[in-house]
Amino acid sequence: MPSRLNNEDIYNLIQQPVATDLIEKADVVIAGSGPVGMTYARTILEKTKATVLMIEVGSQDSPVIGEHHKNSIKYQKDIDAFVNVIKGALQTVSAPPADTYIPTLVGDGWTPPVSENGTSTLIFQGSNPNQIREKNLKASAVTRTVGGMSTHWTCACPTPHDQEIVNNPIPKDERDKLYEQARKLLNVHNDQYDKDSEGDDISIRHNVVKKTLLENLPGNRKIQSLPLAVERRKDNPTYVTWSGANTILGDPTRFDGRFRLRTETRFTKLVPDKNDPKKITSAKLRDLKNDRDIIAMAKAYVITCGAIGTPQVLANSNLATQIPALGRYLCEQSLSFCQIVMKNEIIDYIDKNPDWKARIEAHRLKHKGDPLPIPFSDPEPQVMIPYTSDFPWHCQIHRDAFSYGDVGPRADARVVVDLRFFGRQEIKKENRVYFAGEATARGEWVAGNTDIYGMPQATFEVERSQKDKTNDQKMMKDMCAVASLLGAYLPGSDPQFMEPGLALHITGTTRIGNNPQESVADPSSRVHGFKDLWVGGNGCIPDSTGSNPTLTSVMIALKGAAAVVELLNDSQK
């Protein structure tokens, strides 16, 4: 058998009665090991006796499946160090070739030939010569590891405003119940930076930032603590436990071997049944460690590879023509950002507050000469200004690690506060991600560039409307007004719009809905017209949001998982 299998090879192989190590079988196959994939896995495993095979293209980088890397004490002591972890985890989706002309190169060093338009470009592995610069989400990236982006996410889980849930086909009463289940799965709290069990303020900085905003912004801004998938450790409240994919799955040993995780394995494509094209007969996988194709067979297939990876798998399965909305209606959030150094009057207030006197004196006794009345162990602020009708953007005023915004030696990190404002985008069918190449009748992908994992290259066609741009400017003005209440801009982190795609909150590419012409899947996330195929992730969200999408994605996945359970139960009758 060849190391690379086409559809005919797969059909022949699965019909052979002889057992082979090229075939993996389970009741359910799940592609992707992030929070949404784990939501499907846990629900199915707890409510049935089914077996689940989970496929992950990345490796397991933690002894605990999908654990948040920020749980390391090292990063909780030095949040800026975690910036490098995030940078190392993210891989850009669509990068145009770069101009590689090197005027100082002499001798026999090779350089790309000059093209007709006078440029000298080099197609690096994974770069995309088809990407139009002005329509790119240049900073959009993916994380390929067990747990996905839940290994480094901010854990922000705000509930969307009604205006951010306009197109969701799940009825409100049901949706509210699913949201509550999702919060429990993700272990969401909104009080872990306010008070401890003894009633004392946990974070001085959090409470003073929250107080400043409450006193200076009108009540309709609804200033509150940011809901986070986090819990303060009971053995040592100095530290917290951030939720990851492992939080959702729990201890996998309790499933008595019914859960299997296969890492460093690419989920290449789905193979439809010869006699029933609306039924999936198997999935083609690529064992990256052994460089060979294998087959997975199941009663149900769930693709949760992210807002880019999931439509990529469906497109590579030659399903794009059957699913007209695939990759379309793409929305991404605009992102404005700045960092401030807290005002002198705020620091003076901290120093003179009798509630914090004992903590400050203990700190100064231990660290003589420190001019700041803020203990080194004081947790960072985590405050939210939620989306409202009058201010239609989501705001996070906190101190956390992203792929940008590290403080370094410019200032004492204890007095630095980050402001991140997330804006919505108008929903337009024309905004999309599409994939290079085309599938032949034999099921092989040809003629097109691939990403570094050998899948068809993703290309963006995304433009913000004039309405979006006007709203972005209003959001920037509001951010500057809020920042002025807290302090002065940190040099190098003045108010700015970040690169398109940097929010990493793409929605719509596999949206759920009732109309097969305008959505990819039904309200239960089952792909329209298919009996045994589900999609999951941020791409399923059919709305434009300013809020962080993970909570909503898990909410949608819970309904989808219930539909898979129903299918499995019906198959037993």
Return the active site residues.
505, 548
Residues 6 or more apart whose CB falls under 8 angstroms from that of 361 comprise: none
CA 243 – CA 236 distance, rounded (Å): 17
Nearest 5°: phi and psi at 449?
A: -75, 155
Q: What is the DSSP string of 237-269?
A: TTSEEE--HHHHH--GGGGTT-EEEE-SEEEEE
Cα distances (Å, whole numbers) of residue 53 to 20, 90, 570: 17, 25, 20
Structure tokens at 282: 């198997």
Rounded to whole angstroms, how far apart are CA atoms 137 and 128? 12
Number of H helices, E strands in the chain: 12, 27
Residue 365 sits at φ, ψ, to 5 deg, of: -65, -35
Give me 82's structure tokens: 């975690």
266-281: buried (b, 16+ CB within 10 Å) or exposed (e) per residue? Answer: bbbbbbbeeeeeeebb
Other beta carbons within 10 angstroms of residue 17's beta carbon come to: 4
Rounding to the nearest 10 degrees, give the CA dihedral for residues 220, 223, 226, 231: -120
Distance between CA 267 and CA 456 in Å, rounded?
A: 13
Distance, in Å, from the CA atom of 38 to the CA atom of 36, rounded to the nearest integer, reads 5
Cα 556 to the chain's mean position, in Å?
Answer: 15
344-352 vs 204-216: helix crossing angle, rounded to 10 = 120
The long-range contacts involving 350-355, CB below 8 angstroms and separated by at least 24 positions, are 350/204, 350/208, 350/374, 355/200, 355/201
CA distances from 97 to 100, 195, 387, 564 (A): 9, 51, 38, 42
Pairwise CA distance, residues 233 & 239, whole Å: 6
**Cβ–Cβ under 8 Å, residues 29 and 40:** no
Which residues make Cβ contacts (< 8 Å) with residue 46, sequence separation at least 6?
A: none
Give me 531's structure tokens: 């009996």
Query: Across 449-497, where does the E strand assignment appear?
Result: 458-461, 487-489, 496-497
Query: What CA–CA distance (Å, rounded) separates 331 from 112?
Result: 36
Nearest Cα residue to 230 out of 239, 221, 220: 239
Q: How far apart, in whole angstroms, are the C-alpha atoms of residue 170 and residue 563?
A: 13
